[in-house]
A and B are shown apart, each in its own frame.
Chain A
Amino acid sequence: MPFRIEVALKPEFKDALGESIKRSIKDHLNINVGDVKTIKVYTVNAGLTDVEKKAVASGPFSDQVVQEHSIDRPLASGFDWLVEVGFKPGVTDNEGKTGKEAIEDRLGRKLAGNESVHTSMQYLISGKLTREQVESISKELLGNELIERFEIVDGRSWDSRKGIEPYVPLVRDTHKPKVVEINLDVSDSELIEISKKGTLALTLEEMKCIRDYFKDPEIIAERKKLGLGERPTDVELESLAQTWSEHCKHKIFNATIDYRDGNRQLTVNSLFKSYIRKSTEEISKNIDWLVSVFKDNAGVIKFTGDNNIAFKVETHNSPSALDPYGGAITGIVGVDRDAAGTGLGSKVIAHTDVLCFASPYYKGKLPPRIFHPRRIMEGVVRGIKDGGNKNGIPTINGAILFDDRYGGKPLVYCGSLGIMPAKINGQPSEVKNADPGDLIVMMGGRIGKDGIHGATFSSEELHEGSPATAVQIGDPITQKKMLDLLLEARDMGLYKCITDNGAGGLSSSVGEMAQFSGGCEIRLEKAPLKYHGLDPWEILLSEAQERMTLSVPPEKIDELMELCKRRGVEATVLGRFTGSKKFHALYGDDTVAYLDMDFLHDGLPEMKLEAVWKEPKYPEPEISDEGLTMILHEMLSDLNVASKEWVIRQYDHEVQGGSVIKPLTGKYNDGPGDAGVIRPVLGRMEGVAVSNGINPFYGDIDTYHMTANAIDEAIRNIIAVGGSLDQIALLDNFCWCDPVYDPEKTPDGHYKLAQLVRANMALYDYCVAYGTPCISGKDSMKNDYKLKGEDGKEYKISIPPTVLFSAVGVIPDVRKCVTMDAKAPGDHIYVIGTTKDELGGSRFYASLGYKGNKVPKVDAKTAKKTYQALSSAIQAGLVASCHDCSDGGLGVALAETCFAGGYGADIELAKVPAERIGKDAQVLFSESASRFVVTVSPDKAKEFERMMDGVTCAQIGMTRNDDRFLVRGLAGIRMIDTIIGALKDSWQYPLRW
């Protein structure tokens, strides 16, 4: 019954995809191939008549103008090797799903539930290649073994009459769903084994705590009444493991920590409560624009009075390591559901993404199951592109960092910004509730085995045996349809509470919402499945994407279901919320889980940890003042500084029509914008600015100052475009290597935890000093990759402790925003802020192969004054351009200002306000915090200087009417002589792919 439709380009048209693959084979694998042609294959598993087959093949499945098609006849010919790549059973096939819908539209009838369409891609390669080479091309470039299957055919054995048999990758699971009881009355070592084998990520203490709960005679008696035994079911154990996971419960951030640092000793009762929440609580006394912090899926602040802004940044690191595309797109659509599921729901208006990779030019050996960094980068970027673009959400700001310690696990931070009316149907939009009797409705995609154990899996280190089911593939269109519908349903008042199904799936979303009503009764057999054969615990735990859970009052359910039907969105009633104080799950007639809500959510024993800080000492380099022109060019070519235009242009940053400051700006639209600014309400002039601050390199010296600098950088970028300290909110996002001491696994745990404590201390100090509250955050604590070396020993690749601060600032009038490009010749160039001998962790030291010790320190008191003065000057229209000074220091910032504006400059380093500095290179490349490069029209210079009175600010030169970039050193001698075109080229070529 299944048949194949093949679609190929007519020979006269260019196969752009084939050509790009040919290039990639050369670039990535250094294999020369002759030609690559592509053929799209649709395997249609449905009963169609011959006439119907012809109709769909010529209709929606091919484009008659440029393509030819065939039914059950191969189009391939004249190749040396044929590789067909298709999904493995159970992997989300978005295009196949659309294909089925298109057939239904075309034929005017619905296909049966078990009829389906599956896509695959055929690559016809010509060239003298061995089978081994073709296999490596297939696995390393054309597909991912984890989720895809390959069919490789040698051209010499190709039978063009037979072609390739239609293959339908459906999960044919004859498994009969069952519930298993688990005996926890066993030895400690067996308890640990149960946790390990089941990817439960529960510690011995936690396992014991669960065991004891089920020994309670009262509990046993209650369970008996419902037909449950004395042992926990797998559904119960899995639910507990998921709810208690590091991912969901943030055990480390809530642990009691004994911290020592020299003679200082203190006990921290929860980093989150002592530093993060405490700083926000203190700041909130002085401001009136916080709406909802730390309690919902995203933080919420006031925007225009009648609108609020929700903001959340998530990480999706582990899945992105295994399947970069699937991992990243899932990260994006996942964080969108956070913003969209905040309060009664928001409309997503912007993305911001920060990515950390090993160098794409890495030449060393790769551990097993780890992709080359360039492949990870390209896959992640493609995932972010599709996740944002296909959902119509502009990606307005971001950053990409490179360090080979991200080779084991890349960091993929995905941020989502939403807008919501302050009131919906007269009620505050941030308030949500589920009452006993309300129906549990699941909406969006269906449930499969994808993403099972995502929460627990990301709560342990990645290793060779990490489960493949942890990978999911996001489906932006199913989600777009659902999110569009939810905004309609929200405004019609059809539900009272909403949250997303992310980590932990239904177990998490229903479990969390049941806290409002005090219990729930969920019927797992009602859940819509992608295929049969899922055990009840899998239904409850699956993290299959694009799903939201709602609480719907019974009187609204018909209207909601009717709307869903009209919008082509699947929705199912799965049970109801209760006041029973129990998390009650049934499968058919049987109770499969019956847990006290209190135990599920608050039964987790607290962790006690130890942290010891010892300041590291690194060698200091000798600095010469020779060859500064060349060094400046090298600094611009540093991957961490270089232009990311190749990535940025793939993201839509203008959709929704309110783009103000774009990621690329200046005369030729190619300079690095400091913060992204949008005008989300098109008829109004208020704007939202978004920026990020991150510098893991400083953390090698001291995470306290790393954190201070990240906060300062995020804020500085908002100030640079025209925002002010009046209203900037932050999100903190910690990605750490495992900081829990273990004599074998993590012998340096005490130090790594001390790094975390210090980072939190800085968070508190600087957020309070600037008056910029954290409104939401996230932590990912197990960013390690464990592998066996050739010597048989176990090794670990750990990321450097990395903290990201994402800032959102409200701009009263976007017409006053400023960009970083110099605007006219003859303008005065100013440097704001003091330059100090602070090159520790700088790009310049890194280029010399050193870390150094003098990490930049942030003087918040002085900086605050500076920011206030500069904001006022920008508001007064006195500033022509303003650029943040960060990686690569003043040298880089000046060069960028000039080449983005298209004007050269004369600069005198002796005029730069500096402390304790004797070398030109120090002035140029120190990364002291809180500094800007500003240009001002000569006729406004006096007024500008007057407004900057009391702030460190000095004119250091002028822009030129030509393209020469000239710098005199401290001794008054010309040290740099180059042209802006050359500077720009140095900045662009490293990632000009």
Chain B
Amino acid sequence: MAKVKSLVLTGYGINCEMETAYANELAGAEATIAHINDVIDGKYDLEDFHILNFPGGFSFGDDLGSGIVFANKLLCAKTPKGPMVDHILKFIDDGKLVIGICNGFQILVKMGLLPAFDKNYTTQTTTLFYNDKGFRDAWVNLKVNQDSRCIFTKGIESLYAPIRHGEGKFIPENDAALKRLWDGGHVVLQYVDQFNRPTMEFPMNPNASVDAIAGICDETGRIFGLMPHPEAFNHITNHPHYTRIREEHARKNMPLPEEGDGIKIWRNAVSYAVQNLI
């Protein structure tokens, strides 16, 4: 059977390309890391891929606002075969999958690829802005909205993953946009407290995101952006309590599964691609 092919972008300060590629591969995809300039120059063709990953990092050092300069670059860049953005829109139109994590999410939102109301994929309607309390690295509990259309989170109810950002406060442009996000099944992830309730309380909600929103998708559910880093939970040893979990399992004589929960996100993507794109 043909392999699902995944493209992982890098360059200009993106820095999670390696572990994002690794997560794709654990999930069964064949991952290629490509410098954005090589994609713009036509060295890589989006046509050849099924999943497009915008990894985390600090593109352009977050100067002028996180993700905004990289988004600007993609919106304005010209490839030998026409504007870069046309290739991306065609990729989406072809029913393929896009994921943006942390800085990648910021790029997607600032390009307008998310949430893309009425399939308008180039107008920004939400933003990710400075956290109320600055940069923070901590693991957070997330709840998956079971009414969301997101392909990547099918069958997942909750996720524990690290956030590592200074600009992750999700803000829709107005109340109408917020309502549309809920009504249209765009909301995918929310920060929750120990009782699995969405919360505005720091540090459980690390950035004061509106409605505790940590991740959204477009109306097809094929474009997904999130602030937490599922690729950083690729193995059980990443889990902050792994020595505790291991001890518990050992005392009960139970085997310990090794794969990290974050990989489920890409397993969903790969199985969708296998069913629909190959």
Partner of B56, one of A655, A658, A815: A655
**B177 (CB) vs chain A CBs: closest residue:** A65
Partner of A650, one of B60, B134, B238: B134
In the complex, the answer to whether B76 meets A65 with C-beta atoms within 8 Å is no
16 extra A-B contacts, CB within 8 A, seeds A669-B139, A682-B234: A13-B129, A16-B131, A60-B71, A63-B124, A65-B171, A108-B78, A385-B135, A392-B14, A476-B61, A481-B11, A566-B37, A650-B134, A654-B229, A682-B22, A819-B243, A937-B247
Partner of B240, one of A13, A649, A669, A824: A669
In the complex, the answer to whether A669 meets B138 with C-beta atoms within 8 Å is yes
- Stretch in B62-70, B85-93, B266-274 touching the partner: B62-70
Q: Show 26 A/B contacts (Cβ-Cβ < 8 Å), sorted by A.
A: A60-B64, A62-B65, A65-B129, A105-B72, A105-B77, A108-B76, A385-B135, A389-B164, A391-B15, A481-B11, A566-B38, A567-B35, A568-B37, A652-B137, A654-B162, A655-B164, A657-B16, A657-B19, A657-B234, A659-B238, A665-B243, A669-B138, A679-B235, A682-B19, A823-B248, A824-B247
A interface residue count range (under 10 / 10 to 19 / 20 to 34 / 35 or more) = 35 or more
Give the chain A neighbours of B62 by CB distance below 8 A: 390
Check: B95 CB closer than 8 A to any chain A CB. Answer: no
Question: Which A461-498 residues sit within 8 Å CB-CB of chain B?
Answer: 475-477, 480-481, 484
Give the chain A neighbours of B10 by CB distance below 8 A: 484
Give Cα A821–Cα B247 distance, bound, in whole angstroms.
Answer: 12
Known interface pairs A481-B12, A566-B41, A669-B138; A65-B18 also in contact (CB < 8 Å): no
Give the chain A neighbours of B134 by CB distance below 8 A: 16, 20, 650
- 0/1 string, B220-239, CB within 8 A of A gives 1: 00000000010110110110
Give the chain B neighbours of A824 by CB distance below 8 A: 247, 251
Give Cα A622–Cα B197 distance, bound, in whole angstroms.
Answer: 54
Check: A584 CB closer than 8 A to any chain B CB. Answer: no
Give Cα A475–Cα B61 distance, bound, in whole angstroms.
Answer: 9
In the complex, the answer to whether B76 meets A95 with C-beta atoms within 8 Å is no
In the complex, the answer to whether B250 meets A877 with C-beta atoms within 8 Å is yes
In the complex, the answer to whether B68 meets A63 with C-beta atoms within 8 Å is yes
In the complex, the answer to whether B137 meets A650 with C-beta atoms within 8 Å is yes
Known interface pairs A669-B240, A682-B18; A16-B11 also in contact (CB < 8 Å): no
Known interface pairs A105-B73, A476-B58, A484-B10; A815-B237 also in contact (CB < 8 Å): yes
Known interface pairs A392-B57, A477-B60, A652-B164; A821-B37 also in contact (CB < 8 Å): no
In the complex, the answer to whether A17 meets B130 with C-beta atoms within 8 Å is yes
**A347 (CB) vs chain B CBs: closest residue:** B18
Give the chain B neighbours of A476 by CB distance below 8 A: 13, 58, 61
Check: B132 CB closer than 8 A to any chain A CB. Answer: yes
Check: A420 CB closer than 8 A to any chain B CB. Answer: no
In the complex, the answer to whether B37 meets A16 with C-beta atoms within 8 Å is no
Chain B residues with CB under 8 Å of chain A are 10-16, 18-19, 22-23, 35, 37-38, 41, 56-58, 60-65, 68-69, 71-73, 76-78, 110, 124-127, 129-139, 162, 164, 171-173, 208, 229, 231-232, 234-235, 237-238, 240-244, 246-248, 250-251
**B207 (CB) vs chain A CBs: closest residue:** A16
Q: What's the nearest-Cβ distance from chain B to residue A390, in Å?
A: 4
- 0/1 string, A422-438, CB within 8 A of B gives 1: 00000000000000000
In the complex, the answer to whether A64 meets B250 with C-beta atoms within 8 Å is no
Give the chain A neighbours of B41 by CB distance below 8 A: 566
Q: Which of A657, A817, A880 has the most CB of B within 10 A?
A: A657
Q: What's the nearest-Cβ distance from chain A to residue B110, in Å?
A: 7
In the complex, the answer to whether B72 meets A60 with C-beta atoms within 8 Å is yes
Check: A651 CB closer than 8 A to any chain B CB. Answer: yes
Known interface pairs A16-B131, A656-B18, A657-B18; A937-B171 also in contact (CB < 8 Å): no
Partner of B72, one of A102, A477, A480, A655: A102
Check: A683 CB closer than 8 A to any chain B CB. Answer: yes
In the complex, the answer to whether A657 meets B243 with C-beta atoms within 8 Å is no
Q: What's the nearest-Cβ distance from chain A to residue B101, in Å?
A: 11
Q: Which of B78, B237, B243 has the most CB of A within 10 A?
A: B243
Known interface pairs A59-B72, A105-B69, A389-B58; A477-B12 also in contact (CB < 8 Å): yes
Give Cα A301–Cα B11 distance, bound, in whole angstroms.
Answer: 29
Check: A101 CB closer than 8 A to any chain B CB. Answer: yes
Check: A99 CB closer than 8 A to any chain B CB. Answer: yes
Give Cα A64–Cα B125 distance, bound, in whole angstroms.
Answer: 8
**A95 (CB) vs chain B CBs: closest residue:** B63
Give Cα A65–Cα B244 distance, bound, in whole angstroms.
Answer: 43
Give Cα A567–Cα B10 distance, bound, in whole angstroms.
Answer: 11
Give Cα A74–Cα B151 distance, bound, in whole angstroms.
Answer: 46
**B256 (CB) vs chain A CBs: closest residue:** A815
Partner of A66, one of B58, B171, B243: B171
Q: What's the nearest-Cβ distance from chain A to residue B177, in Å?
A: 9
Give the chain A neighbours of B77 by CB distance below 8 A: 105
**B57 (CB) vs chain A CBs: closest residue:** A392
Give the chain B neighbours of A389 by CB distance below 8 A: 58, 135, 164
Q: What's the nearest-Cβ distance from chain B to residue A157, in Å?
A: 31
Check: A307 CB closer than 8 A to any chain B CB. Answer: no
Q: Which 9 A-B pairs have the closest CB atoms?
A: A392-B15, A657-B19, A98-B63, A65-B127, A60-B72, A477-B61, A95-B63, A390-B58, A819-B243
In the complex, the answer to whether B15 meets A101 with C-beta atoms within 8 Å is no
Give the chain A neighbours of B14 by CB distance below 8 A: 392
Q: What's the nearest-Cβ distance from chain A to residue B204, in Å?
A: 12
In the complex, the answer to whether B12 meets A63 with C-beta atoms within 8 Å is no
Check: A660 CB closer than 8 A to any chain B CB. Answer: yes
Partner of B171, one of A13, A106, A386, A669: A13
Check: A526 CB closer than 8 A to any chain B CB. Answer: no
Give Cα A484–Cα B35 distance, bound, in whole angstroms.
Answer: 10
Give the chain A neighbours of B126 by CB distance below 8 A: 65
In the complex, the answer to whether B72 meets A392 with C-beta atoms within 8 Å is no
Known interface pairs A477-B58, A567-B35, A654-B137; A63-B241 also in contact (CB < 8 Å): no
Q: What's the nearest-Cβ distance from chain A to residue B169, in Å?
A: 8
Give Cα A649–Cα B240 distance, bound, in whole angstroms.
Answer: 14
- 0/1 string, A656-677, CB within 8 A of B gives 1: 1111101001010100000000
In the complex, the answer to whether B235 meets A568 with C-beta atoms within 8 Å is no
Known interface pairs A99-B64, A567-B35, A682-B22; A823-B244 also in contact (CB < 8 Å): yes
Give the chain A neighbours of B162 by CB distance below 8 A: 654
Check: A61 CB closer than 8 A to any chain B CB. Answer: yes
Give the chain B neighbours of A648 by CB distance below 8 A: 137
Give Cα A665–Cα B244 distance, bound, in whole angstroms.
Answer: 10
Q: Which of B71, B73, B77 has the most CB of A within 10 A?
A: B73
In the complex, the answer to whether A480 meets B244 with C-beta atoms within 8 Å is no
Q: What's the nearest-Cβ distance from chain B to residue A484, in Å?
A: 7
Q: What's the nearest-Cβ distance from chain A to residue B180, in Å?
A: 14
Q: What's the nearest-Cβ distance from chain A to residue B9, in Å?
A: 13
**B238 (CB) vs chain A CBs: closest residue:** A659
Q: What's the nearest-Cβ distance from chain A to residue B230, in Å?
A: 10
